[in-house]
Structure 1
Amino acid sequence: MRTPSTLFAKVYYRPIEAAIRLSNLHRFEEQILQRLNGRPRPTPDDFPRWPGLLLKTDQIFDALLNGDLPYGKAGITCANPALLDDPGLTIRHVDLRAWMEKFYPEDRPRFLFSPPECRGLSREAVKDLINEHNNLTLRLNECTSDYMALKEQNATLTRQVIDLQKKSPPDNLSDRGRSTLLNIIGGLLTALRGSSPTGKPFTSYESDSAIMDLIIAHHQGRLGISERTMQKYFAAARRSLAA
């Protein structure tokens, strides 16, 4: 099982401890420290198997000597050159991280950087992703609420349609009976909207709308007494007579 990299993180490090972690030699830390026996830096002959350890140590001391990496003693930053030979020389975790970000941005050791940062994501990019995730979560919750409301409305309308279908009488008319009723309706429309050979209107109704308004005014609320229904049957009646 992989050991969490946070177990190797410390508030501050001795240079050799930092080099061990940067070389990914955590498992051999005790062995390396015993071999050095208090010496701050290894020699080329100390660990020929691990040339990277010598390189990382040299890089750290180069940064200390040139002022690129703050240092101190026992975790307290103090720019005193005499400390460079002191066994108590230390580097703070935050300073080591900042130095790596500036001078070795391609290296992302797991004890210094979070998993997203190790995959090449900056802190700003991670924050942007978190904000985007939160915004999308809010939008999802809003859409879910809207969906539930629309779903309830649909259920209500569906129940209303079923109730109306139950109340509507079945159409048991034969084709002949249906044609007969349509012809009668068409005849009544002709009588109400027609005119004599001389052009004199039979009635004062100049449009279907006027006839519909009259019927609705006297029989509003009865089944089929609506403008939409009458428009449908008036048109069907005229087609029946013209057939």
Structure 2
Amino acid sequence: MVSFRSSYHPIDAAILWCDLADHEAEILQVELSDPGGLLKHFPQWPTLHLYAERICDAIIYGELPATYLGGPIGLDDPVQRAYWSIRHPDLYGWFARTYPHEKPAFLFSRESDHSLCVSLGVHLALQADRDVLLRELESLHRTHSALCNQESPELDDPTKAPGFKSKSGAMPENAPMLLYVIVGALLALMLGKTEKGQPRSIFGNQAAIVDAITMLFPDVPGLSKRTLDRKFAEARRRFAQAGRA
């Protein structure tokens, strides 16, 4: 049944996700007295701990907007997760984007479940995450613009560029190779996973990054899909080479 709450605490959302509303009081008592002990106290419901961690990780890495007692969450300060709050539209958008095939009943109406709703949900999620996308893509945009402005024979073989390496063996800041390495590092970061195995960004692969850039910056010269695919592939290759050096 669809919930009419305007907001949720992470443990509330995890309980409803697992369809354990009948055991809510028991679970909340354990969560308040022994934070992080869900798996120990409720081994019969392993997904409860898993789903709670997924939600909290999404908040920590900026994928799921949330507040702490009505204010911003300072991730450098230890705070009790029990007081984190997630707005219903933000939680809906995160589910539509990250787990589009699950659609838990407390967020999604079974009667209105059809293909058009999935597309609308993804669209709304992208709009809600626009600020996050812009911050991540702005750095790529600046770096790519610098690469486009330095189109030269040296880009095909950066080792032939003047001043490719200093006497100490380090690349100067304006070396074309360094720009490729920076882009490759950004791609590796965005497409990588945390130590807990969670994605670091909302992008699952390079194609998703390219699609987002072309959608958000359709009128920027040099940001065509063909150019981005070629430059990103080269950047990842150069980054891999730099890592082996």
- TM > 0.5 between the two? no
What TM-score comes out, normalization by structure 1 length?
0.43
What TM-score comes out, normalization by structure 2 length?
0.43
Give the structure with higher Rg (CA).
1
Using CA pairs under 8 Å that are at least 6 residues apart, name the structure with larger relative contact order, 1 or 2. Answer: 2
